[in-house]
A = this chain, B = another copy of it.
Amino acid sequence: MALIVQKYGGTSVANVERIKVVAERVKQTIEDGNQVVVVVSARSGITNQLIERAKALNPHPDDREMDVLLSVGEQETIALTTMALHAIGVAAVSRTGAQAGITTSLAHTRARILDISGGDIKAQLNQGKAVIVAGFQGSADGHITTLGRGGSDLSAIAIAGAIQADICQIYTDVDGVYTTDPRVVKNAKKIKEISYEEMLELASSGTKVMQSRAVEFASKFNIPFEVRSSFNNNPGTIVKQEVASMEGVLVSGLAVDKNQCKIVVSDIPDKPGTAAAVFKSLAEIEVVVDMIIQNIGRKGLANLTFTVPADDAHRAEQKVNEILSENGGGNVSVLDKIAKISIVGIGMKSHSGVAATCFDALAAEEINIQMISTSEIKITVAIKPEQANKATQILHDVFNLEK
């Protein structure tokens, strides 16, 4: 008998029919001899409807009240899912975030989990019941809080950790983590096992199966989880702590992000603090900066090149211009869109040569690399977006990811 946490996202509980499918899967899991805790999101679309109503009443709704409002989405789902289980003869009971003892900070709309007591989840399981818990929400001093984007994944993983579940299954609309986007590379392969670190690098490089936050939490507390599809019974991808066998695999996957812009800041004073001022100002307006290159140009002035999501490029340019005028001048130009391709693999830690193989393979096909950044388990190159698909296929082949 295993203790399993299953998390179902908004599309998996979107309507009455989908909820029935979830209930059947939970029933099957129990009949296979397991204890099950189910963590559910709001039905897809509900959250947007609620936000729409809020914005119609107040363009800047209060964070505390947003939490009171948005938490109704999951509360509806736990009740409906529990009723669906009863209808097919499965003993079950629902718990809100507060009832499940999910204690958070009082930072409304982006609360951090401080503690999970689990409430009476264990007791209910031992009475033979499935426990249906509202994801995304918790409580702080009697106030309702929410965890922000990706919060339900985080709830599921945190609960799995708190009740020492054997596995946490994240059901979603993809059936696992692939070596790269299967729409781009036909022979992309589902990865059986991957380390937290690789999963994080893939997520931060554009393969958004899950929010990084939930993966970081799982990594910190060593909680294994599986990403799998709620639309079929295929085994998914298990994400867990690095094990020796993983190191045999040089490269695990490729992440592609075609929606980036390159910003070049030239002729800034080469003195301490200028770059920091630029990036601090971008952080303030919540623009995520990646692939930073700094070098010295003519007359002791410096150049700074970095990438930002294309949608943020205009805001970023304006902000940087402001900062430069306060910091001794400089020029900003936003260049065309670029694509980022990231090669991820913990095997790279102890092997050299991945970068060289990559550069060679791309050069052979006359694909020009505009920028390069590397970390311990990742190499990222920026190229022209129209070459991204071809480059991905080339790298997928050269690192034998189809095997």
Contacts and interface: CB of A to CB of B under 8 A. Distances in A.
Interface of A: 16, 19-20, 50, 53-54, 56-59, 61-62, 64-66, 68-69, 71-72, 75-76, 78-80, 82-84, 86-87, 93-94, 96, 99, 142-144
Given A16-B53, A58-B83, A68-B78, 12 more contacts: A16-B56, A19-B57, A53-B80, A54-B79, A58-B84, A59-B87, A61-B86, A62-B83, A62-B86, A65-B79, A65-B83, A69-B76
Contacts of A57: 16, 19-20, 80, 83-84, 87
23 contacts: A16-B53, A16-B56, A16-B57, A19-B57, A20-B57, A53-B80, A54-B79, A57-B80, A57-B83, A58-B84, A59-B87, A61-B83, A62-B83, A65-B83, A65-B86, A65-B94, A68-B79, A69-B75, A69-B83, A71-B75, A72-B76, A75-B75, A99-B143
A68 B53 contact: no
Contacts of A62: 82-83, 86
A313 to B, nearest CB: 32
A90 to B, nearest CB: 11
A94 B69 CA distance: 10
Contacts of A53: 16, 80
Q: Tell which of A19, A72, A96, A99 has the most Cβ of chain B within 10 Å.
A: A72
A50 B76 contact: yes
B99 A80 contact: no
A80 B19 CA distance: 28
Contacts of A82: 62, 65, 68
Nearest to A61: B83
A120 to B, nearest CB: 9
A198 B54 CA distance: 42
Given A57-B16, A57-B84, A96 B68 contact: yes
Contacts of A16: 53, 56-57
The 7 tightest CB contacts between A and B, nearest first, are A69-B79, A72-B72, A58-B87, A68-B79, A58-B83, A57-B84, A16-B56
A57 B68 CA distance: 26
A75 B76 contact: no
Contacts of A79: 54, 65-66, 68-69
Q: Tell which of A20, A53, A144 has the most Cβ of chain B within 10 Å.
A: A53
Nearest to A76: B72
Contacts of A19: 57
Contacts of A56: 16
A71 to B, nearest CB: 7
A157 B325 CA distance: 62
Contacts of A54: 79-80, 83
Contacts of A83: 54, 57-58, 61-62, 65, 69
A390 to B, nearest CB: 48
Contacts of A96: 68, 144
A69 B81 CA distance: 10
A54 to B, nearest CB: 6
Contacts of A93: 64
A332 to B, nearest CB: 37
Nearest to A64: B93
A345 to B, nearest CB: 45
B75 A68 contact: yes
Contacts of A86: 58, 61-62, 65
Contacts of A71: 75
Nearest to A144: B96
A372 B129 CA distance: 55
